[in-house]
Amino acid sequence: MKNNKILLIYTGGTIGMQKDPETGALIPFDFSKISQQIPELKLIDKEIDTLSFEKPVDSSNISPDHWVKLSQIIEEHYDNYDGFVILHGTDTMAYTASALSFMLENLSKPVIFTGSQLPIGDLRTDAKENIITSIEIAGSYDGDVPLVPEVGIYFEFKLLRGNRSVKSSAEHFNAFDSPNYPPLAQSGVHLKFFKHRILPVSQGVFSVHKKLIDNIIVLKVHPALNKDYLSHIINLPGLQAIILETYGSGNALTASWFLDLLRQAVEKNIHIINITQCLTGSIFPDKYETGRKLMELGAFNGKDLTTEAALTKMMYLLGKKLSKKALKQAFERSINGEMSF
């Protein structure tokens, strides 16, 4: 294994905090001095450089502008590094990882997200193992071929595909899950890569897509959903898409007012995307009449997409200014492993 160069990018979040010994308050530390917090990094046979957002961002405040900023950093340094590790707050990590999986077109190097549930300066922190192993993964090559040439999330001994991941726990170290796709790698005594699950190295020219359209609403179907509320949503100025989280395998109410309003939305060129609100599984819109009605209206089949992937994929595709037919076709096929079929 060659001595690869890794760029460690700190965006903000719990992982970059340490306790002030006098006040006990959490304060950010200087990430250029990360080796003082994790002296074990000196033992890794990799050349590690660090780069930090000038003003670290709590993940609750992450926006599409930050996704563009991150993608620009990777674009600027792409030729000079063999892999990238992004330190990010956990609350929106799955959104950011999903977004970059689409924005980094023809990616052929590892981009690994990680973070922690406890600050890096905490006695029981999970930050050190997450960072060390993420760096090892980002620098894992078979000759000149990276073992993980895609966007992933590493947390608590598992590497997950970024656009398949969801935050599943606010309390446990095992904070992320990939409900519809198995891990890409497992960390134990040895790093075990499941090569048949990992995307192949892209043969295309790497580029960054920075145009994202955020005129999208995520709407969860529930028994108290009412006509006035939905009517207000579809009449929002500039609205271009509704991510509809439906029941089970893609079912929603068949009340005439509901279907009439969705029909009006479609006539206004608002795209309806049908995904399940269940943690696992996929939609099969032709299985029941309730799902078939949405399909007949022209709703996009979101299959087994996570909400995070459905939202960011639509933002990405809307930015490409495709025709309605081409947009639906592009959305309903996998771009970077975000769908199972």
What are 79's two structure tokens? Answer: 């030729």
Plot region of 111 (φ>0 → left; ψ -120 to 50 → alpha; else → beta): beta
Distance CA 32, CA 51 (A): 7
Which helix (H) or strand (E) covers residue 186, if one does? Answer: strand 185-187
264: number of Cβ within 10 Å: 14
- Alpha-carbon distance of 66 to 100, in angstroms, equals 11
- Separation of alpha carbons 228 and 207, rounded Å: 43
The token pair at 224 is 């108290």
Catalytic-role residue among 14, 90, 114, 246: 14
Known catalytic residue: 14?
Answer: yes
| Residues 6 or more apart whose Cβ sits within 8 Å of residue 204 | 105, 106
Q: How far is residue 109's CA from residue 148's CA, in Å, rounded to a whole number? A: 7
The residues annotated as belonging to the active site are: 14
